[in-house]
């Protein structure tokens, strides 16, 4: 994994500390060309990996990447699935079974043999595989070396104790997509405990990691202790605490932590992107000097 990964929240009106800013972003990135332009700015600073939700609009971006293989040579995307909002309303309206019928490709109960049989036999792992395949459709022909489960699903399964489903997800993306599985979570220490108990060693876990403990369940100390004493490949997100922490301080904090393999951030403007990359490079090199 590359040290710096470019995220997509800014493109899809996701802002964890301001609903107002999120709506302004929705206007700014109305056109796909604005997204591509920002991705290119990020690439110019050396960020060659885009970590993104399986939002419908990403299909337009992957189309451009597929059609310009030379320009996007060696470009990588880390899909994060699913884009949960589209399922959430369907579950409230129709229940779980009804929502599955809405979203699994083909006629779930009819023509699609695997789906129909899986549903009737309550073969949950096959249903999971079908859903993964549905989300992965838009990435056909794209290099996707790591495939992530979104935090709402990871954490739901974690809380329910359905760790076997997380293990099955990992096995499936390895087998079918020749990719590693990653897990996004707001509960890093708890997730690591449960994954290790099921025999998963050195997992890729993407979690909020910042100096103010924002969205870090159990608190900063528990996170620091976990990173200091355990084996995992952590990806730090929400490093800026949604904008509450001064960027220099924020990147300094996260660059010093052990086992943080990559840092994920998204930004809309050229200035912010370049400055963030500069900070990370600066703090990484000073860490090397003192090592």
Partner 1 sequence: MIKGGIIGLGKMGISHAAIVGAHPSVELVAVCDSSSLVMDAFSKYTTAHTYSDYLKMLDQETLDFVIIATPTKYHYQMTKDALERNIHVFCEKPFSLNYNEGKELANLAMKRSLINQVGYHNQFIGTFIELKRLLKNNVIGELVHFNGEAYGPVVIKEKGSTWRSKSEEGGGCTMDYASHVVNLIQDIISPPQKINGTLLKSIYSKGVDDAVYSLLTLQNNLSGTLLVNWSDETYRKMSTSLTVYGKKGKIICDATEIKIYLKDADKKQNLEKGWTIKYITDFAIPVNFYLRGEEYSAQIDYFIENIINNRAGALNTFQKALQTDEVMEMIMNNAQQN
Residues that bind partner 1 (CB under 8 A): 12-20, 22-23, 26, 85, 88-89, 91-97, 100, 119, 122, 124, 152, 155-162, 164-165, 186-187, 190, 212-215, 217-219, 241-244
- Kindly state the smallest distance separating residue 22's Cβ from partner 1, in Å: 7
Cα 156–150–240 angle (5° rounding)? Answer: 110
Instruction: Pick between residue 59 and residue 96 the one whose CB is nearest to partner 1.
Output: 96
Strand, coil or helix: what is 106? coil
Q: Which is nearer to partner 1, 135 or 155 (CB)?
A: 155
The two tokens of residue 257 are 């932590």
Residue 70 Cβ vs partner 1, minimum distance, rounded to whole Å: 35
Question: In sequence order, which residues have a C-beta less than 8 Å from that of residue 75 and are 6 or more positions away?
Answer: 43, 48, 49, 50, 65, 142, 143
> Which residue lies nearer to partner 1 by CB, 105 or 219?
219
Smallest distance from partner 1 to CB 7, Å: 16
Angle between helices 124-136 and 163-177 (to 10 degrees): 50
Shortest CB 9 distance to partner 1, Å:
11
* Closer residue to partner 1, CB minimum distance, 72 or 172: 172
User: Cβ 141 to partner 1, closest distance in Å?
Assistant: 29
| H or E element at residue 245 | none
Determine how many CB atoms are found less than 10 A away from the CB of residue 164.
Answer: 12
Closest to partner 1 by CB, 52 or 142: 52
- Our CB check for partner 1 shows the closer of 32 and 278 to be 32
Shortest spacing between CB 163 and partner 1, in angstroms:
8
> Residue 109 CB, nearest distance to partner 1 (Å)?
12
Cβ contacts of residue 257 below 8 Å, gap of 6+? 209, 224, 227, 234, 236
The residue (of 122 and 289) whose beta carbon lies closer to partner 1 is 122
Q: Which helix (H) or strand (E) holds 268?
A: none
Q: Which residue stretches of the chain are H helix?
A: 19-28, 32-44, 58-67, 84-103, 113-120, 124-136, 151-160, 163-177, 188-197, 220-229, 247-256, 270-290
């Amino acid at each position: 994994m590359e040290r710096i990964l470019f995220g997509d929240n800014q493109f899809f009106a996701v802002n964890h500390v301001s609903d107002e800013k999120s709506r302004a972003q929705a206007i700014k990135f109305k056109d796909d060309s604005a997204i591509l332009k920002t991705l290119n700015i990020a690439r110019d600073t050396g960020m060659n990996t885009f970590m993104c939700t399986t939002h419908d609009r990403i299909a337009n971006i992957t189309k451009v990447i597929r059609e310009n293989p030379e320009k996007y040579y060696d470009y990588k995307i880390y899909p994060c699935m699913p884009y949960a909002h589209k399922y959430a309303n369907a579950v409230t309206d129709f229940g779980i079974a009804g929502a599955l019928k809405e979203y699994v490709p083909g006629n779930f109960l009819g023509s699609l043999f695997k789906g129909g049989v899986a549903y009737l036999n309550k073969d949950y792992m096959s249903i999971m595989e079908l859903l993964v395949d549905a989300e992965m459709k838009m990435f056909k022909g794209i290099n996707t070396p790591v495939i992530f489960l979104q935090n709402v699903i990871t954490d739901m399964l974690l809380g329910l104790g359905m760790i076997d489903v997380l293990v099955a997800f990992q096995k499936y993306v390895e087998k079918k997509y020749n990719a590693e599985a990653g897990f996004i979570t707001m509960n890093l220490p708890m997730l690591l405990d449960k994954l290790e108990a099921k025999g998963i060693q050195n997992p890729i876990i993407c979690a909020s990691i910042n100096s103010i403990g924002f969205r870090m369940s159990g608190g900063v100390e528990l996170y620091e202790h976990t990173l200091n004493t355990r084996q995992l490949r952590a990806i730090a997100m929400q490093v800026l605490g949604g904008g509450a922490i001064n960027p220099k301080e924020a990147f300094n904090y996260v660059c010093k932590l052990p086992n943080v393999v990559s840092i994920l951030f998204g930004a809309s403007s050229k200035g912010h992107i370049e400055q963030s990359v500069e900070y990370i490079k600066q703090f990484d090199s000073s860490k090397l000097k003192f090592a």
